[in-house]
Structure 1
Amino acid sequence: MPVSRELPEERNILSVTELNLQVRQLVEGTFPLGVWVGAEMRNIKFHSSGHLYFSLTDEESTVDGVMWRNVAQNIGFKPEDGMKVEAFGAPTLWEKTGRYQFSVRKLFPVGEGARAIAFRQLKEKLFTEGLFDPEHKKPLPKFPFTIGVVTSATGAALRDIVNVIGRRAPYVTVTIRPAKVQGEGSAEDIAGAIEDFNRYGNVDLLIVGRGGGSEDDLWCFNDEALARTIFASEIPIISAVGHEIDFTIADFVADLRAPTPSAAAEIAVRDIEELTAALRGYVITARNRCASLADNADARLRSVMSRPAWTEPLRKIREHEQRIDDWMAKADMIEASLFERSAGRAQRLAEKLAGLNIKNTLKRGFAIVYRDGKAIESAANLTTEDAVDIEFKDGNKSAVIK
């Protein structure tokens, strides 16, 4: 349709707001029921408000997209950059900026299903956080006497668990906390039951699970909050969800995964007949051990009683007395020898000291010259007219040096 280039005679002036409003009505009126768009998601931004902003692109074009919080919280998976999707919504325009964008009401991944993506993403997240690490797994008690069960009160799983425990271990008390195991609110109910047991249950072990079902039926066991509750439980937990081929997030977090509820009950308790047989074996082993210990003790006692110290105690005492006498005689000899050596050393020291005595030196014809009370060691230390005292062996004389 050709566009007229002539200006209309009447000027109908619109404000920017009015212009944007009319354009919005035209844009939104084109797809009043909405439209499906196939595209690739790019530039994904999760806003603190809960809204999700992104771009929808193909090989040639791009359009801004938005998903409001109430929609974003219920799509079941976390969108990723580069993910191919089918988006249902409608184009819209915001009057204040004239910005055109596509408001998404439903979003489905192309290829891999939404639940498969959500399962993969949550599994990777919890694995990275360490919730699956074997080091965090709590050991199961060998002989539990009280077992808590979290499952539907009317399901076959409960009957199977109770029957198996009653047959294998009638001494075990089973406490049941019924919970919804499928549908809306079931994950919260199961988590609440686990928390109740941790607060008030006084049980040794928990079995959490249900019988087989569809993916929808088992989906509540893939809930993140439930997984964290299982991880935080102080009571060891066996997960028993569905059949052997079914795996849920709860199975990865639990302390042990059983393929079925019946298998969980068999793992939880030991058969009473097995215990009786084991106990008999322990009794026989204990008796044999006691008999062996008694035989060894008897042999050791006989060996001791056959020794001379036991059969001839007086002879052994005399032998020890003789040894003591010998040791005393040797001690006396050592003491005398040490005394003689010490006396000899003392005599020699006395002789050396006597040789050093100044009186003995004077007796040999020597004299000592003193000046002012001090001994003179050399003639060079004296001068003419010095008054000196001379000590002889038999007296002292005074003199003057010439």
Structure 2
Amino acid sequence: MSSAVSFPDLLKDKVFTVSEYVDFLNNVLAATSVTIQGEIGAKTNLYARFGYFSILDNNNEAILDCFAWRNVIDAVGIPLEEGMEVRVHGYPSIYKQKGKFSFQVKEIELVGEGVLKKQFDVLKQKLESEGLFDPTYKQSIVDFPTKIGLITSAQARGAKKDFLHNLIARNIEISFYDVRVEGQRSVSDIVFAIQWFNQHRPALDVLVITRGGGSWESLQAFNNEELARAIFASKIPIMVGVGHEDDVSIADFVCDMRASTPTDAAKRLSVSWQQLPFEIDQYQTSLHSRMHTIISDIEHSLDKYTETFSVSITMLIDKIRQQLSSYQEIFELSNPLMLLQKGYSIVRSKEGTIITSVIQLKTDDTVTTEFNDGSSESKIISTKNYS
């Protein structure tokens, strides 16, 4: 039965060149990412693309040379100064050309309340000058939210539990994203969660980023420039409820609505739901009052229109009567019988045709002459034409 071959056994007969061995060591060392805490040493060399500095124990018993790209150093927000306590996250490496051992820094985290407050003030001033705190950029959070994205830690159960417990409405859909809320990796976790929700759940009413209180160091992720810019860039409105009542972070200034605690965040989102019964009563009262006013207005209008209509009908009847009287006068004036009463007469032929011209008559024709009070028959003896 064969036994497992150990790692040293594999290397026992291996002969390396110097270059191969340094490459071998770097491959092994790169897999051992660690976090180291210490103070910034006296000498710091910064160049356009990278920089060198050292960290040491406060008793000066050990020193470690560090290398970092400028974007890592600049992300600190304030200059690295001698004696400043930091935590650096990265891995060890050997520079092949010089055989020099150094620590490749991927992230730098400040330690100590004093320096963290200084970092906070510098970043706050920078972002404020760029307009990231401007109220005109704040997105409004809808009343009666029904779809909420919750970004917090599943391990720190207090914040999540407090938030969910204090939501008034129970018909709200919660999309939960588990992140680290403390430590060097927490920033990238929260930033990724914001971006994920914006890409995959853009219809959410609000994103809530929350955690419990803590020291300046434990809340440092929420005073980070990268996170601040991710909050500002979000298309979904963001509420931040981090810490205790007195804890204020950069994220609080950038977000669309600040809540002092996880519980306060839940209560703020529940206000509209909580007031709904009272608003319904107010709407009903207002509706009844409005309907009463509308009905009164309609009744008043009907009375007014009825009165106006009655007056209009009377005036129309009088006008018709006047027109009828005028037509009667015209009719009477054009009535032939009225002309007969004035001394005129009507002459008709034997066939009854009205004679209007002498040319219609001949000698010995018999005609009938109609007067106002009777008629007579005559025979034409002769005719004279005056035309």
- Structure-2-length-normalised TM-score: 0.57
Amino acid corresponding to residue 162 of structure 1 in structure 2: L
* Percent identity over paired residues: 31
Task: Give, in angstroms, the shift of residue 318 of structure 1.
Answer: 3.7
Rounded to whole Å, the distance in 2 between the matches of 1:212 and 1:242 is 3
Alignment correspondent of 2:186 = 186
Alignment correspondent of 1:169 = 169
Task: Give, in angstroms, the shift of residue 72 of structure 1.
Answer: 9.1
Q: What's the CA shift string for 1:24-78, capped at 9, x where partnerless?
A: xxxxxxxxxxx9977xx9xx9953222279xxxxxxxxxxxx9853699459442
Q: Is the 8 A contact 1:230 1:253 kept in 2?
A: yes
Amino acid corresponding to residue 276 of structure 2 in structure 1: L
Q: Does the C-alpha gap of structure 1 residues 52 and 280 become closer, same or farther in structure 2, counting only changes over 3 Å?
A: same
Give the gaps of 5 or more residues in structure 2: 1-38, 54-64, 86-104, 327-387
Q: Does the C-alpha gap of structure 1 residues 67 and 182 become closer, same or farther in structure 2, counting only changes over 3 Å?
A: closer
Alignment correspondent of 1:313 = 313
Alignment correspondent of 1:291 = 292
Matches within 5 A, 1:266-277: 266-270=267-271, 272-277=273-278
Amino acid corresponding to residue 252 of structure 1 in structure 2: F
Rounded to whole Å, the distance in 2 between the matches of 1:68 and 1:236 is 39
Rounded to whole Å, the distance in 2 between the matches of 1:172 and 1:158 is 15
Matches within 5 A, 1:1-400: 47-51=47-51, 68-69=67-68, 73=72, 76-79=76-79, 85-86=82-83, 113-154=114-155, 155-165=157-167, 168-201=168-201, 202-270=203-271, 272-307=273-308, 309-310=309-310, 313=313, 315-319=315-319
Q: What's the CA shift string for 1:345-382, capped at 9, x where partnerless?
A: xxxxxxxxxxxxxxxxxxxxxxxxxxxxxxxxxxxxxx
Q: Does the C-alpha gap of structure 1 residues 217 and 288 become closer, same or farther in structure 2, counting only changes over 3 Å?
A: same
Q: What's the CA shift string for 1:227-273, capped at 9, x where partnerless?
A: 11100011111111111111111111101111101101111122645
Amino acid corresponding to residue 292 of structure 1 in structure 2: T
Could you say what secondary structure the match of 2:219 adopts? helix
Rounded to whole Å, the distance in 2 between the matches of 1:135 and 1:146 is 24
Task: Give, in angstroms, the shift of residue 153 of structure 1.
Answer: 1.4
Could you say what secondary structure the match of 1:217 adopts? coil
Could you say what secondary structure the match of 1:238 adopts? strand
Q: What's the CA shift string for 1:175-200, capped at 9, x where partnerless?
A: 21111111121111111111111111
Rounded to whole Å, the distance in 1 between the matches of 2:152 and 2:123 is 23
Task: Give, in angstroms, the shift of residue 312 of structure 1.
Answer: 6.3
Q: Does the C-alpha gap of structure 1 residues 241 and 36 become closer, same or farther in structure 2, counting only changes over 3 Å?
A: closer
Q: Does the C-alpha gap of structure 1 residues 313 and 72 become closer, same or farther in structure 2, counting only changes over 3 Å?
A: closer
Q: Is the 8 A contact 2:232 2:254 kept in 1?
A: yes
Q: Is the 8 A contact 2:143 2:272 kept in 1?
A: no
Amino acid corresponding to residue 159 of structure 2 in structure 1: A
Q: Does the C-alpha gap of structure 1 residues 112 and 267 become closer, same or farther in structure 2, counting only changes over 3 Å?
A: closer
Rounded to whole Å, the distance in 2 between the matches of 1:209 and 1:108 is 21
Amino acid corresponding to residue 156 of structure 1 in structure 2: G
Task: Give, in angstroms, the shift of residue 304 of structure 1.
Answer: 1.6
Q: Is the 8 A contact 1:87 1:108 kept in 2?
A: no
Q: Does the C-alpha gap of structure 1 residues 175 and 36 become closer, same or farther in structure 2, counting only changes over 3 Å?
A: closer
Task: Give, in angstroms, the shift of residue 221 of structure 1.
Answer: 1.0
Q: Does the C-alpha gap of structure 1 residues 87 and 285 become closer, same or farther in structure 2, counting only changes over 3 Å?
A: closer
Task: Give, in angstroms, the shift of residue 119 of structure 1.
Answer: 1.6
Rounded to whole Å, the distance in 1 between the matches of 2:159 and 2:83 is 39
Amino acid corresponding to residue 282 of structure 2 in structure 1: G
Q: What's the CA shift string for 1:69-104, capped at 9, x where partnerless?
A: 369945944228xxx74489xxxxxxxxxxxxxxxx
Rounded to whole Å, the distance in 1 between the matches of 2:149 and 2:115 is 34
Q: Does the C-alpha gap of structure 1 residues 215 and 320 become closer, same or farther in structure 2, counting only changes over 3 Å?
A: farther
Amino acid corresponding to residue 184 of structure 1 in structure 2: Q
Q: Is the 8 A contact 1:150 1:176 kept in 2?
A: yes
Q: Does the C-alpha gap of structure 1 residues 72 and 85 become closer, same or farther in structure 2, counting only changes over 3 Å?
A: farther
Rounded to whole Å, the distance in 2 between the matches of 1:268 and 1:67 is 47
Q: Is the 8 A contact 1:150 1:177 kept in 2?
A: yes
Could you say what secondary structure the match of 2:195 adopts? helix
Q: Is the 8 A contact 2:84 2:115 kept in 1?
A: no
Q: Is the 8 A contact 1:180 1:190 kept in 2?
A: yes
Task: Give, in angstroms, the shift of residue 215 of structure 1.
Answer: 2.0
Q: Is the 8 A contact 1:144 1:204 kept in 2?
A: yes
Q: Is the 8 A contact 2:182 2:218 kept in 1?
A: yes
Q: Does the C-alpha gap of structure 1 residues 321 and 246 become closer, same or farther in structure 2, counting only changes over 3 Å?
A: farther
Rounded to whole Å, the distance in 1 between the matches of 2:118 and 2:163 is 33
Q: Does the C-alpha gap of structure 1 residues 224 and 108 become closer, same or farther in structure 2, counting only changes over 3 Å?
A: closer
Q: May I ask how many residue pairs the two structures share in their alignment?
A: 251
- Mean alpha-carbon deviation: is it higher for 268-277 or for 218-227? 268-277
Q: Is the 8 A contact 1:77 1:115 kept in 2?
A: no
